[in-house]
Amino acid sequence: AQKITQTQPGMFVQEKEAVTLDCTYDTSDQSYGLFWYKQPSSGEMIFLIYQGSYDEQNATEGRYSLNFQKARKSANLVISASQLGDSAMYFCAMSPMEYGNKLVFGAGTILRVKS
């Protein structure tokens, strides 16, 4: 079974600064995907970034990057140059590759960007 742990219930960051949201995972699967989703107060789930377990390079998507450390089973999200619109709940999730792409989510981290 897969498990995602997000140890930071809430985080504050100053506008224009970078912030790291922590995520550790546990799985016995050899192939898996790691994801980050953003959920603003409006409730929708917005896909941010994906990292495959066999990808050698860390994923980047604009201001988002995923710091993937496979040996430590961590997949931290780094948001650079934070904006007020980044204030939201952030979920780390994982999925096995072999069969069925169901997502297993962590508890989430609430990020508040201060001006």
Per CB under 8 A, residues contacting another protein are 33, 35, 37, 43-47, 50, 52, 91, 93, 95, 97-108
C-alpha pair distances (Å), 51 with each of 88, 101, 113:
21, 14, 25
CB of 96: closest distance to another protein in angstroms?
A: 8
CB of 114: closest distance to another protein in angstroms?
A: 26
Nearer to another protein (CB atom), residue 101 or residue 115: 101
Kindly state the tokens that stand for 67.
Answer: 């710091």
Q: Sign of torsion, CA 18 71 104 96?
A: positive
Residue 65: φ, ψ to 5°: -140, 150
Nearer to another protein (CB atom), residue 82 or residue 95: 95
CB of 34: closest distance to another protein in angstroms?
A: 9
Closest by Cα among 68, 77, 69 to 8: 77
